[in-house]
Each structure stands twice: as structure tokens, then as C-alpha cells.
């Protein structure tokens, strides 16, 4: 391999490494790689066409991130991953990765990509995650509000709070910057706690046990002190958090739990934390404690 070929390969590898193994034709030309050199590498499989003018470097295995990055590059400058795809990237939704969805300031079409036009997206609603240009978590929730059910939207908001420390105030600010959002009323119902939603087997069983014991039912997953809390009895000044490993394992989540506990005491609530074992394996002790805390015989 002569020096020029080696330099071209190194430059392609450099560009791809910075973007999940994806490069755009415009980037290659700007780096001094000729049209003939690009065409040759497409023929031999060193560059694999993902979208028109966007390639995956041939030695890189395909990935969700590569597909999403390629879709963003295919939609031009200022494009952002958005909607269900952005929610998947942020970990707000479970299940298989949805097809790419991109919001861009200009009209672009790429096969297999759902696109929408937004000429004047506020810079506060744009960020990068895992190196991919994407709408922020609050703006993503605004976009989700028009396509998800109330329960699914509430679960996405809950994940946003746990994983990204997103508060109702953050989402409300994004809503105000997007006054034409079709799901605004639905999202505000979630933010105000105006729905009764459970997020997990743990919470469903906790409520079942409370009903069976004829205890007053809490409000669930509503904001208190600017954060969502699992269960709260406002009239009894009691907050209960339910600890499943999925939501409370990471260090930042553990720190948030301690902060929620301090905030509960600051607003005059008693605070209790029940684990999976408390709810599913030895509920009698938990119910007895709740009876006393709620003033029930």
C-alpha cells in the first residue's frame, strides 16, 4: 500500500471513528478525498452506502447508533435525531430500536427515515448523546406526547427523571418553546400527576396489597418538590419510594434517592422505602407499618 492510499484509509478511519463508523460524502471531499477515490471504495466495499451520500466504513459492523447517525447525516446540517428514535437512544422506551426519525431545518427525504421540518428549533432543545446530534430529553418528551398513550408517556417521563434527572419544570419549559405541540394537554396531565399509572410489577403489587388491606390509596408518580415520587398520601404527609434494582442501581440514581428522602422530610412528610422483598416476599410487616403510619386500625 503506497503512502497516498494509506493516508486516504487513515483519514476515512479517523472520520468514521468519530461518528460510529459513519461518514458523509461532503466530509470525505472536504478532507481532500476525491470523487474517484470514494467511488473506488464503494465498489470494493470499503464504503457501504447507508443513505444517499452517507456511508458506513466497511470494516465497521452495523449498529443502532451507526444507523441513527447515518440518518442524521443524510438529513443535512442542523438535523437532529428525534421522536421515538431519540427516546430509544436516551433509554426512555423499552423494546426493539424504532426506525430513525429526524427533525431538520430543511426538507430532506431519506428512504427508511421519518423526517419532519423545524426551521427554527431553539438551541436549548438540541444536544448530543453518544456523539449523535439529538433533541434534548425534555423536547423528546414533547414530541412523544403526540404518539404515546398516557401510561406510556408517564413511564417515559419517569425514566427521564431517573436516567437524566429531568424535572417537570424542564419539560414545561420545552413545552413553552413548542406551543404547537399536539400532545401538550396530555403531557401536562402527566406532569401534574393527573393520571393514576403504575410503572412496574413492584408498584402494581404494592397497590394491590394496599387495596386488599383496605388502606387509603396513594397518588402515584406525581411531582412533589419538583421531582416525581413513587407513592404519596398528601393528607397523611407520607411519601413511599419502591426500590427495584432497575431504577435505583446506578450511583446517580442512588444519590437522587437520598435527595428525595431529604426533600420529603423538608416538606413535612414521613418517608419510607420498601424493597422488592418487602412487597413481594414479606408484605405483612410492610402493611402493618403502613397501617400505623396512616392511622388505620
Do 181 and 218 belong to one domain? no
Do 26 and 89 belong to one domain? no
Q: List Cα–Cα distances, 115 to 74, 80, 82, in angstroms.
A: 11, 10, 9
Q: Which of 25-39, 112-126, 131-145, 259-273 has the highest mean pLDDT?
A: 131-145
Per the structure, the count of domains in the chain is 3
> Which structural domain range is residue 31 located in?
3-60
| Residues 190, 187: Cα–Cα separation, whole Å | 5
Give me the pLDDT at residue 146, please: 95
Give me the pLDDT at residue 247, please: 39
Q: Looking at 40, 60, 80, which one is the last position of a domain?
A: 60
Do 73 and 173 belong to one domain? yes
| Residues 101, 74: Cα–Cα separation, whole Å | 11
3-class secondary structure, 228: strand
Residue pair 99/114 in contact (Cβ under 8 Å)? The answer is yes
Residue with more model confidence, 198 or 67? 67
Query: For 108-155, how does the pLDDT look when each residue is reduced to its tens digit (9 = 90+)?
Result: 888 889 999 888 889 999 999 999 999 999 999 999 999 999 888 988
Residue with more model confidence, 18 or 208? 208
Do 35 and 135 belong to one domain? no
Counting Cα atoms < 13 Å in the Cβ hemisphere of 97 gives 15
With vertex at residue 24, the alpha carbon angle to CA 20 and CA 26, rounded to the nearest 5 degrees, is 145
Average per-residue pLDDT in the chain? Answer: 86
Per-residue pLDDT at 224 exceeds 80: no
Residue 3: all three cell numbers together: 503512502
Do 83 and 178 belong to one domain? yes
Residue pair 101/84 in contact (Cβ under 8 Å)? The answer is yes
Sign of the CA dihedral running 118, 122, 125, 130: positive
Q: By C-alpha distance, which of 163, 51, 150 is closest to 108?
A: 51
pLDDT exceeding 70 applies to what percent of the chain? 88
Q: Looking at 192, 213, 231, which one is the last position of a domain?
A: 192
Do 47 and 151 belong to one domain? no
Q: List Cα–Cα distances, 266 to 161, 221, 241, 290, in angstroms.
A: 20, 19, 16, 20
Give me the pLDDT at residue 142, please: 97
3-class secondary structure, 254: helix
Do 79 and 174 belong to one domain? yes
CATH value at residue 217? 3.40.960.10
Query: For 62-115, how does the pLDDT look when each residue is reduced to its tens digit (9 = 90+)?
Result: 899 999 999 999 999 999 999 999 999 999 998 899 999 999 998 888 888 999
Q: Looking at 157, 192, 227, which one is the last position of a domain?
A: 192
Do 46 and 84 belong to one domain? no
Do 22 and 41 belong to one domain? yes
Q: What residues contact residue 245 under an 8 Å CB cut-off, 6+ apart?
A: 276
Arithmetic mean of pLDDT, 234-245? 82
Per-residue pLDDT at 28 exceeds 60: yes
Residue with more model confidence, 137 or 274? 137
Do 187 and 80 belong to one domain? yes
Give me the pLDDT at residue 37, please: 93
CATH value at residue 45? 1.10.10
Per-residue pLDDT at 278 exceeds 60: yes
| Residues 100, 199: Cα–Cα separation, whole Å | 26
Amino acid at each position: 500500500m503506497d503512502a497516498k492510499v494509506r493516508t486516504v484509509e487513515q483519514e476515512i478511519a479517523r472520520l468514521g471513528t468519530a461518528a460510529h463508523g459513519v461518514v458523509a460524502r461532503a466530509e470525505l471531499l472536504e478532507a481532500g478525498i476525491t470523487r474517484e477515490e470514494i467511488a473506488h471504495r464503494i465498489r470494493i466495499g470499503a464504503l457501504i452506502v447507508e443513505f444517499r451520500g452517507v456511508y458506513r466504513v466497511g470494516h465497521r459492523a452495523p449498529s443502532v447508533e451507526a444507523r441513527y447517525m447515518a440518518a442524521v447525516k443524510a438529513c443535512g446540517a442542523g438535523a437532529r435525531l428525534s421522536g421515538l428514535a431519540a427516546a430509544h437512544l436516551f433509554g426512555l422506551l423499552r423494546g426493539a430500536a424504532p426506525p430513525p426519525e429526524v427533525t431538520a431545518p430543511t426538507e430532506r427525504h431519506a428512504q427508511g427515515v421519518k423526517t419532519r421540518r423545524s426551521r427554527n428549533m431553539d438551541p436549548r432543545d438540541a444536544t448530543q448523546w453518544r456523539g449523535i446530534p439529538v433533541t434534548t430529553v425534555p423536547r423528546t418528551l414533547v414530541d412523544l406526547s403526540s404518539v404515546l398513550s398516557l401510561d406510556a408517556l408517564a413511564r417515559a417521563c419517569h425514566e427521564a427523571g431517573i436516567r437524566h434527572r429531568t424535572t417537570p419544570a424542564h419539560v414545561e419549559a420545552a413545552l413553552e418553546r413548542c406551543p404547537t405541540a399536539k400532545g401538550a394537554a396530555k403531557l401536562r396531565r402527566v406532569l401534574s400527576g393527573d393520571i393514576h399509572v403504575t410503572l412496574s410489577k413492584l408498584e402494581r403489587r404494592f397497590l394491590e396489597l394496599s387495596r386488599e388491606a383496605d388502606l387509603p390509596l396513594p397518588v402515584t408518580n406525581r411531582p412533589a418538590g419538583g421531582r416525581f415520587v413513587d407513592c404519596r398520601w398528601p393528607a397523611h404527609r407520607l411519601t413511599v419510594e419502591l426500590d427495584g434494582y432497575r431504577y435505583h442501581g446506578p450511583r446517580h440514581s442512588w444519590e437522587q434517592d437520598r435527595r428525595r428522602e431529604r426533600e420529603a422530610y423538608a416538606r413535612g412528610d414521613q418517608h419510607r422505602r420498601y424493597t422488592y422483598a418487602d412487597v413481594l416476599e414479606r408484605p405483612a410487616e410492610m402493611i402493618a407499618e403502613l397501617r400505623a403510619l396512616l392511622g388505620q386500625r
